[in-house]
Structure 1
Amino acid sequence: MTDFTVVAQGLRFPEGPVAMPDGSVILVEIADGRITRCFPDGTRTTMASPGGGPNGLAMGPDGKLYCCNNGGFNYHEHPSGLLIPNGQADDYSGGRIERIDVETGAVEILYKDGDFGCVLRGPNDIVFDQHGGFWFTDHGKNRPRERDVTGIFYVKADGSHLEEVIFPSENPNGIGLSPDGNTLYAAETYTCRLMAFRITAPGKVDQTGGLGGAGIPLYRPAGYKFFDSLGVEECGNICVATIGESGISVISPAGELVEFVSTPDPFTTNICWGGADRKTAFVTLSGTGQLIAIPWARPGLKLAY
């Protein structure tokens, strides 16, 4: 098992970590519909309460947080103590993209289902590019006998543009950009595939990737596993949270497994990097409600904002 330090515990399905300059980490607690700031001394504060299912977070060019809100899940409390998402919430409030003021906690809805003719079922994860726009995945929702068919979107942070660029995608989850900004990576949960898309212009990808549409499958592990969110290292490796095997799969841009960093929670869901050298990985262990810090062998990629 990888050496790690527990930064926070008792969280309600944490995800979407964002490392801040002061050493704190802002994350979502999906099951409680809130945004929480965790400090190095173990204290934490509620920063905002958007409700629904806040999921992916990213800092934008205006110093505000942008949040993918999936509208909420039902949950199952497993006898082992794990908290497990269990389909669309009975009080599902709709998919949306929110902007959150870090200082005041004010929440505004930037995009919602139906805007610009787009269907938003369960926005999941988010990454900004150097042009001030951002990509996000829509993971969709599961219901007793059906599952949404969803896609990958590009939007402008000022609320003026929302476009579904890639459709269909098999329940996309994690999303990230290569260091040069020319490749978009997306992790599909149920197929457990890491997909790569060639970016041709801001918000556009090569749509002739091959059989099945845009993009090419870069990597898929053997066995019964699922991919969740991801982060990218400075050297270009893609670090994908892997459910089932419990840890982070580190994959080269060529599609080779570099290493697997194990964790003690089967619902290991996301990763980001902090510290002066960006060699401290903050990883969300959602099933057990923990945020942990892992000394990382290579620095994480410096984000756009």
Structure 2
Amino acid sequence: MLPAGATELFVATPLTAPHGFTAGIEGPAVDAAGNIHAANFARQQTIGIVAPDGTARVLLTMPGKAVPNGLRFGRDGTLYVADYVGHAIYRVAPGTTTAVRFAHEPSMSQPNDIAITADGVLYASDPDWRRGSGRIWRIDTAGRATLAADGLGTTNGIEVSPDGRTLYVNESEQRAIWAFTIGSGGALEGKRLVARFPDFGLDGMRADVDGNLYVTRHGKGTVAKLAPDGTLLREITLPGARPSNICFGGPDGRTAYVTEVEHGRLLQFRVDRPGLEWQRLHGPP
């Protein structure tokens, strides 16, 4: 029996009402106050903000034709937004609701998801869905984009390890997770296979403070938790078949939030260890 007030771990429940988000629901990312930000609330081109109790509203609308996908917070509270239509990364300064273009690379297929290092360097996955291929771009703190890896499958979820030495990226259609060593100057070296799945797609990916990876299984309706070496530790069943992405928040960093396409809503479940992104915003628990 659980203690009074305790919540069972790894049991997913809805946080927001069905179809509050469009089928483009993505992101998500949690700010220092515990609010969840996610792409395409109420209509396309928006970023929604969701309080921990599930109350949601539009925070901002992207400029021009920009459509948000992956979201990440920097340690200073800056929100970075991948615009998959305009080949760009935008940023939203703390306390503002205006997205300003930060990086633009016309040769990108589309910046999809974003990883961020402890010193604020971004890595963006760049899938070409039509060709079944993908790349990784590195965006420095001045907004300069350089090609960091090429010749991959449909790159999607992307994450940096707690020690900052490893970059993980998954391939949705090839159902594989790869690791690179982050070398001097941010170069990616030593590509190696971490895990491969026999079925269903891979989408978003985030790490906890121990370096375990949480990977959304699009079409299967689960989140897979893997050890850093790729060992499958558990699989969390979700009330929705098409999870797109995941992040960590809550008062202790141990609440996982999942964007779910089938019902256009955010899901949540409790985990045993804090998320890495939460720790970087708040410090060790």
| Both proteins in one fold, TM over 0.5 | yes
**Structure 2: gaps (5+ residues):** 1-9
Following superposition, the deviation at residue 46 of structure 1 comes to: 1.3
State the distance in 2 between where 1:113 and 1:299 align.
34
Residue in structure 1 matched with residue 169 of structure 2 by the alignment: 186
Residue in structure 2 matched with residue 130 of structure 1 by the alignment: 118
Q: State whether structure 2 residue 74 is matched by structure 1 residue 60.
A: yes
Following superposition, the deviation at residue 171 of structure 1 comes to: 1.3
Post-superposition, which runs of at least 4 consecutive aligned residues in structure 1 deviate over 3 A? 302-305
* TM alignment of 1:182-221, pairs within 5 A: 182-206=165-189, 209=190, 215-221=191-197
Contact in 1 for aligned 2:31/2:73 (Cα 8 Å): no
Q: State whether structure 2 residue 261 is matched by structure 1 residue 286.
A: yes
Q: State whether structure 2 residue 32 is matched by structure 1 residue 24.
A: no
Residue in structure 2 matched with residue 35 of structure 1 by the alignment: 47
**Structure 1: gaps (5+ residues):** 72-93, 210-214
Q: State whether structure 2 residue 13 is matched by structure 1 residue 5.
A: yes
In structure 2, what residue type is equivalent to 1:103?
Answer: G
Following superposition, the deviation at residue 20 of structure 1 comes to: 2.3
State the distance in 2 between where 1:111 and 1:302 align.
22
Instruction: After superposition, give the CA deviation of every residue in 1:110-143 in whole Å (9 maximum; x if it has no partner).
Output: 22233xxxx112111111112221111112343x
In structure 1, what residue type is equivalent to 2:274?
Answer: P
Instruction: After superposition, give the CA deviation of every residue in 1:144-174 in whole Å (9 maximum; x if it has no partner).
Output: xxx3643101111322x21011012211000
TM-score by length of 2: 0.87
Residue in structure 1 matched with residue 60 of structure 2 by the alignment: 48
Contact in 2 for aligned 1:58/1:65 (Cα 8 Å): yes
Residue in structure 2 matched with residue 260 of structure 1 by the alignment: 235
Moved more, 57-66 or 178-187: 57-66
State the distance in 1 between where 2:80 and 2:183 align.
24
In structure 1, what residue type is equivalent to 2:203?
Answer: D
Following superposition, the deviation at residue 17 of structure 1 comes to: 1.2
Classify 1:264/1:221 alpha carbon distance in 2 versus 1 (closer, same or farther; 3 Å). Answer: same
TM-score by length of 1: 0.81
Residue in structure 1 matched with residue 275 of structure 2 by the alignment: 300
Instruction: After superposition, give the CA deviation of every residue in 1:216-263 in whole Å (9 maximum; x if it has no partner).
Output: 11101223x111010001111111111122111111111211111111
In structure 2, what residue type is equivalent to 1:155?
Answer: I
Following superposition, the deviation at residue 62 of structure 1 comes to: 4.2
Instruction: After superposition, give the CA deviation of every residue in 1:29-84 in whole Å (9 maximum; x if it has no partner).
Output: 1861111101133322211211432100111244221111111xxxxxxxxxxxxx
CA RMSD of aligned residues (A): 2.0
State the distance in 1 between where 2:195 and 2:132 align.
24
Classify 1:148/1:108 alpha carbon distance in 2 versus 1 (closer, same or farther; 3 Å). Answer: farther
Identity of aligned residues (%): 28
Contact in 1 for aligned 2:12/2:236 (Cα 8 Å): no
